[in-house]
Structure 1
Amino acid sequence: MALHRKLIAALALTATLAATTAAGGSASATAPTSSDLTWVCLASTQAPDRERSLRVPEKLVDLLIATTASYRGPCAERGESERFGDGVLTAYSQSVGDRPLTIGLVLSDGSLSGLPQHPPHDGTTCYDVDGDGHIDEMTECAGGHARQLDLGRQFREDVDTPFTYVLSNWNPGGHPPPDVYGDPHFDVHFYVKPDVERVAIRPGPCAHLMNCDDLELAKVMPAAEYLAPDYTDMDAIEPAMGNHLVDPTAPEFNGEPFTHTWIYGTWNGEVTFYEAMVTHEWFDRMRGGETEDACHDFKLPAQWQESGWYPTSYCLRHRDNRDEITVSLEDFVHRTAR
Structure 2
Amino acid sequence: MSIEDLLRETLSDMAHEEQPPPPGRFLRVHGGRSRRRGLALAAAVAVAAMAVGSTFVVEGLSSRVAVPRGITEQGSDEALVGTGRGQITLTVREGLRLAQVMEKLSASTGRPVEEFWRAAEDGRTLGLPAYAKGALEGFAFPATYEVSSESSPGELLAAMVARFNRAAEDSNLVDGARHVGRTPLEILTVASIVQTESTNKRDMPKIARVVYNRLNHTPEMKLQMDSTVLYGLNKFGIRASNKDLKSRSRYNTYARLGLPPGPICNPGADAIEAALKPAAGSWLYFVTTDPEKGTTKFADSESEFFKLVEEYDKNRHRGIGENRGPGGRGGAP
Give TM class, smaller chain.
under 0.3
Which has more strand, going by share of residues? Answer: 1
The structure whose RCO (Cα within 8 Å, separation 6+) is larger is: 2
User: What TM-score do the two structures reach when normalised by structure 1?
Assistant: 0.25
